[in-house]
Amino acid sequence: MENLGAAIRKRREELKFKVYELADAVGVDPVYITRIEKHSRLPSPLIMEKISKALSDEDLFKTYLKLKYPMVYQRVKARDLFLDVEAEKIAEEMVRKDMTPEEAKKLEWRISRFESVAKKAKIKLKKLTKKLEDIERV
């Protein structure tokens, strides 16, 4: 099992954040951050989202989902895989030199569609985080 607390501590230290600085950014007590880092306590989804954002590391949130909500993680992982594959295809097309005007227009449409899908995926993840938080409150 991956150790989320150690990953959070490592990222915090890479950014040269003190525990109290991360706690301030997240809006929690420094003791709470220490419990997460040293004792592998899993925070609520909302707090984990804030930690990931404060440390600029979306992968921390995905690790959290993998540990706490494995079925949700599988859906997020599948979405990310689709986006990665599509991004690679677009990148390959962008370096082509012999593109016709029609192909260039189609590529512009694909890029626009990709940006839209990626934005919607981010919004869905935000909504999902809120739903998970609501479930935990019950």
Chain segment 26-35, per-residue pLDDT in tens: 999 999 999 9
pLDDT of residue 41: 87
Interval 93-100 mean pLDDT: 87
CATH code for residues 1-67: 1.10.260.40
Question: Regarding predicted confidence, which is higher, 79 or 23?
Answer: 23
Say if pTM beats, i.e. exceeds, 0.85. Answer: no
pLDDT of residue 85: 92
18 pLDDT higher than 60 = yes
Contact 69, 77 (CB under 8 A): no
pLDDT of residue 2: 59
